[in-house]
Amino acid sequence: MSVILRAENISKQYRLGLVGTGTISHDLNRWWHKVRGKDDPFLKIGEVNDRSTKGESDYVWALKDINFEVKRGEVLGVIGKNGAGKSTLLKILSRVTSPTTGEIKTKGRIASLLEVGTGFHPEMTGRENIYLNGAILGMTKAEIRSKIDEIIDFSGCERYIDTPVKRYSSGMTVRLAFAVAAHLEPDILVVDEVLAVGDAEFQKKAIGKMQDISKGDGRTVLFVSHNMGSLQRICTRALLLENGELVYEGSVENTIEKYIKHGERNSKTLINNDLNLPLCVTGAELISDSKGVIDVEDDIKFKITYKVNKADCENSIAIRLVRNGTILFTDFVKINDEYCLDKQLGSFQVISKNFPKRLLKSGSYSVDIHVGIIKKQVIQRVDGVLDFDVELSSKHGYNSSFSKDRPGVIGVNIDWDLML
Amino acid sequence: MKTTEDNWLYTISSKHKLIDLNLKEIWRYKDLLFLFVKRDIVTVYKQTILGPLWFLIQPLFTSVIFTLVFNNLGQIQTGDIPPFLFNLAGITAWNYFKECLTGTSGTFTKNQNIFGKVYFPRVIMPMSVTISNLLKFGIQIGIFTGFYLFYYFQGSGVNININIVLFPIYVLLMALLGLGFGMIISSMTTKYRDLTILVGFGVQLLMYLSAVPYPVSEAKLKFPEWVVPIVVYNPLTQIIEGFRFMLLDSGTFSWTSFGYTTLISVVIFLLGLIIFNRTEKSFIDTV
């Protein structure tokens, strides 16, 4: 497949703080350097863009030396925390702003869907807005006319189509806007977080449409989202941005895993030993046959240590297994009956008996523990109490449904019989 | 090594040419231009009772007040022309320029929402303002024609001049000047808003220096000597005066001043276009 877009050393510098009389001296300084044919003096002093720490300089690099290529027909996801530079990158790609240094070369026309409903005029009807919005996104009137029925149908707003858009619900506005954008025919479509709005049915439709766009028509999509589920479903490859730098580029699965791990490092929670709680968990452990790396074939056992501080407590311990931000399941241990022998106080341990083999695909997992009364109250909550990796060693040649790159959150082996 | 890979459609880069007009792209977006014009026209009367009548009320009332203040009270001579018609002609022309200037001078600040999300040639926006103002101007010219015919049949010394063929050119000159100044101001207000405040009252003051409520001959006679060149060399004065000359056959017209005005208008327009083009690349970071 040929390269359709190439970004070379893209950087973007922003100045923080207020614009006022203070900034004019910098502007004059910059201008004076330019007049004498020298480089911009402020380009040298930028800092890494870390939102949460206080910096020395007023200048930050929202993006720093980003290089990547996109091939025709690829759906590229862009992942990163808030302020990592995702939107800045998309803004540069959609030509809303230009990079401070570097350049992006493209062989196709780029249309963006940064935030839907842009340019909708509340006083105009849905139909008029389809034309206007379509034209803003780069379609000609003839193109829109040939697709108008399809667009109205896709939006599902037929009844309201000749009513001013200000009478629409916000979901309907989004539907209409996405419908217009989905019928654009750019070579490269840039999408930012649109799927956060709209009901479940529409989200499904939207994702389907995006898949059609890339698979059916061979067009390229760049997709930014915090929704790992939809990223996994749509994208073929992903970039991970952190503080304006490109830290990882690879398959969606691997990128998401990197992203989740990066996030965890910042929010490490320790189990506390709070005696005021009627019941509290004091430790959690993972026991497996092999030390270190766990194999898909291995037996996995969870051991939880807890302390009962008050007799007759009605509490349960819930254990939740999380993979890349998706909760796989939640299971409970009810402490009040058989596990709290003779209603004694003190420390006890439980161990899991029947954790199924061949369920977890290779990848990174973490365990959350919640203590409380089911459906009523949580008294203790420790997220990420355990982290472990599962690997698929090459010796089991039998199945790749446990491989990381396979779509899906779990691996299940269904045995098939030939029907005669 | 990969020869076919070098056929890039376009490049997004930090470096720009001085004049980067890309007329081909503007042409590709021509439908958008007309849809913006349509939007401006259709939505302006929404939820008003008098609707387009407001376009007529404003110049008529202004003309009446001008006649009262400048002609009755201030004794400004307008020759054979009825002062009301004289003022109406000046105000109609001035209004078009003013609407173009004020409408386009906020292009970047007013549209930062839409400009911050999608790309299209930004110049489409001020162009659409200039075109949709033409409709308003047309309505106002219509009411002027009505009064003109009324005075004509009363036999009060108004005559059409052969220069009426220059009418479209005058309209074009006003549009170029208004658009040019508007684009310059809008580019300069993206970072520092000081100019926005100036535009508010500056346009009002400019009107009095552009021979709108008086003929140039009166200005030459009564203004202090140092003010006269400001009025005479003001390109707008020449447009207003020429506009009245062709419609009413009053005042002066010379090809030299016509040529001078045309030159200034084209220069201002091109300057505006260059500045606008430079600003549009990254104004969204500073707006």
Q: What is the DSSP string of B203-270?
A: HHHHHHTTTSSS-HHHHHHHS-TTTHHHHHT-HHHHHHHHHHHHHH--S---HHHHHHHHHHHHHHHH
Question: How many CB atoms within 10 Å of residue A326?
Answer: 14
pLDDT at B126 over 90: yes
CA A372 vs CA A270, A282, A342: distances in Å: 18, 14, 20
CA B256 vs CA A236, A343, A392: distances in Å: 68, 109, 88
CA B70 vs CA A176, B22, B143: distances in Å: 55, 48, 22
Chain B interface residues facing chain A, Cβ-Cβ under 8 Å?
4-5, 7-14, 16, 28-29, 31-32, 34-36, 39, 42-43, 46-47, 113-120, 191-192, 281-282, 284-286
Q: What is the mean pLDDT of the segment spanning A183-194?
A: 78
Contact B31 A140 (CB under 8 A): yes
Could you say which residues from 26 to 85 on chain A have a Cβ atom under 8 Å away from some Cβ of chain B?
A: 27
Residue indicated by tokens 């006319």: A145
* Mean pLDDT over each residue of chain B, to the nearest integer: 85
pLDDT at A242: 86
Give the distance from residue A369's alpha carbon to the nearest chain B alpha carbon, in angstroms: 42
Contact B29 A138 (CB under 8 A): yes
- Top-confidence residue, A114 or B173: B173
pLDDT at A297: 78
pLDDT at A274: 61
Report the residue of B5, B22, B32 to disrupt the A interface, i.e. the one with the largest count of A CBs within 10 Å. B32
pLDDT at A87: 82
**Could you give the angle at the alpha carbon of A228 between the alpha carbons of A51 and A52, nearest 5°?**
10
Give the distance from residue A30's alpha carbon to the nearest chain B alpha carbon, in angstroms: 15
Q: What is the mean pLDDT of the segment spanning B215-240?
A: 87
Domain extents for chain B? 28-285
Cα(A81)–Cα(A68) distance, rounded to whole angstroms? Answer: 19
Contact A107 B286 (CB under 8 A): no
pLDDT at A269: 46
| B247 φ, ψ (degrees, to nearest 5) | -85, -40
Size of interface A-B (CB pairs under 8 A): 110
- Top-confidence residue, A97 or A290: A97
Q: Could you read off the pLDDT of A55-74 as tens digits, one per residue?
A: 666 778 888 888 999 988 88
Ranking A79-83, A246-250, B2-6, B82-86 by mean pLDDT, the lowest is: B2-6
pLDDT at A44 over 60: yes
CATH class for the region spanning A279-391: mainly beta
Cβ-contact B241, B251 below 8 angstroms: yes
**Taking CB atoms and an 8 Å cutoff, what residues of chain B touch A31?**
none
Report the chain B residue with the minimal C-alpha distance to residue A95. B119
Cα(B166)–Cα(B162) distance, rounded to whole angstroms? Answer: 9
Tell me, which fold does domain A3-109+186-263 have in CATH?
Rossmann fold (3.40.50)
Q: Could you read off the pLDDT of B187-213 as tens digits, one per residue?
A: 888 877 788 888 888 898 999 988 888
Give the distance from residue B217's alpha carbon to the nearest chain A alpha carbon, in angstroms: 44
Burial classification of residue A164, based on how many CB atoms lie within 10 Å of its CB (0-12 exposed, 13-18 middle, 19 or more buried): middle
Task: Give CA A187 to chain center in angstroms.
Answer: 24
The residue among B156, B135, B170, B174 whose CA lies nearest residue B245 is B170
Contact B11 A106 (CB under 8 A): yes
**Taking CB atoms and an 8 Å cutoff, what residues of chain B touch A104?**
11-13
- Top-confidence residue, A54 or A362: A362
C-alpha count within 13 angstroms, C-beta hemisphere, residue B157: 9
Confidence of residue A53 (pLDDT cuts 50, 70, 90): low
pLDDT at B179: 93
Q: Could you read off the pLDDT of B7-28 as tens digits, one per residue?
A: 777 777 776 666 666 778 888 8
Contact B13 A3 (CB under 8 A): no
Contact A103 B12 (CB under 8 A): yes
Cβ-contact A130, A146 below 8 angstroms: no
Residue indicated by tokens 């939640």: A330
Contact B114 A118 (CB under 8 A): yes
pLDDT at A217 over 60: yes
| CB-based contact, A413 to chain B, within 8 Å | no
Nearest-10 Cα torsion for A131, A134, A140, A146: -70
Indicate the residue of A94, A103, A111 with minimum beta-carbon distance to B11.
A103
**Taking CB atoms and an 8 Å cutoff, what residues of chain B touch A115?**
117
Confidence of residue A265 (pLDDT cuts 50, 70, 90): very low
Ranking A154-168, A375-389, B73-87 by mean pLDDT, the lowest is: A375-389
Residue B222's H or E segment, with its range, is helix B216-222
Report the chain A residue with the minimal C-alpha distance to residue B28. A140
Residue A266 contacts by C-beta under 8 Å, 6 or more apart in sequence? none
pLDDT at A190: 83
Question: How many CB atoms within 10 Å of residue B61?
Answer: 11
Strands in A279-288's sheet, in edge-to-edge order, are A279-288, A300-308, A346-351
Report the chain A residue with the minimal C-alpha distance to residue B191. A19
According to DSSP, the β-strands at A346-351 and A363-373 are: unpaired
Give the distance from residue B285's alpha carbon to the nearest chain A alpha carbon, in angstroms: 7
Cα(A261)–Cα(B223) distance, rounded to whole angstroms? Answer: 78
Confidence of residue A304 (pLDDT cuts 50, 70, 90): confident
Q: Could you read off the pLDDT of A323-358 as tens digits, one per residue?
A: 887 888 888 888 766 655 556 677 788 888 888 878
Q: What is the mean pLDDT of the segment spanning A119-134?
A: 87
Ranked by mean pLDDT, which of A50-54, A306-310, A373-377, B227-231 comes out on top? B227-231
**Could you give the angle at the alpha carbon of B136 between the alpha carbons of B172 and B272, nearest 5°?**
40
pLDDT at A140 over 80: yes
Give the distance from residue A281's alpha carbon to the nearest chain B alpha carbon, in angstroms: 49
pLDDT at A266: 39
pLDDT at B153 over 50: yes
* Mean pLDDT over each residue of chain A, to the nearest integer: 79
Cβ-contact A281, A271 below 8 angstroms: yes
Domain extents for chain A? 3-109+186-263, 279-391
Contact A137 B118 (CB under 8 A): yes
Confidence of residue A398 (pLDDT cuts 50, 70, 90): low
Burial classification of residue A384, based on how many CB atoms lie within 10 Å of its CB (0-12 exposed, 13-18 middle, 19 or more buried): middle
Residue A390 in 3-state DSSP? Answer: strand
| CB-based contact, A138 to chain B, within 8 Å | yes
pLDDT at A46: 63
Residue A299 in 3-state DSSP? Answer: coil
Q: Could you read off the pLDDT of B243-273 as tens digits, one per residue?
A: 888 888 777 778 888 899 999 999 999 999 9
Cα(A413)–Cα(B16) distance, rounded to whole angstroms? Answer: 58
Residue A395 contacts by C-beta under 8 Å, 6 or more apart in sequence? none
Residue indicated by tokens 């030396």: A65
Residue A391 in 3-state DSSP? Answer: strand
- Top-confidence residue, B20 or A204: A204
Contact A96 B4 (CB under 8 A): no
According to DSSP, the β-strands at A101-106 and A3-15 are: antiparallel
Which residues share a beta bridge with B179?
none
Residue A206 contacts by C-beta under 8 Å, 6 or more apart in sequence? A178, A182, A194, A195, A198
Residue type for position A51: R
Q: Could you read off the pLDDT of B99-115 as tens digits, one per residue?
A: 999 989 888 888 888 88
pLDDT at A288 over 80: no
pLDDT at A268: 41
Confidence of residue A216 (pLDDT cuts 50, 70, 90): confident
Cβ-contact B236, B265 below 8 angstroms: no
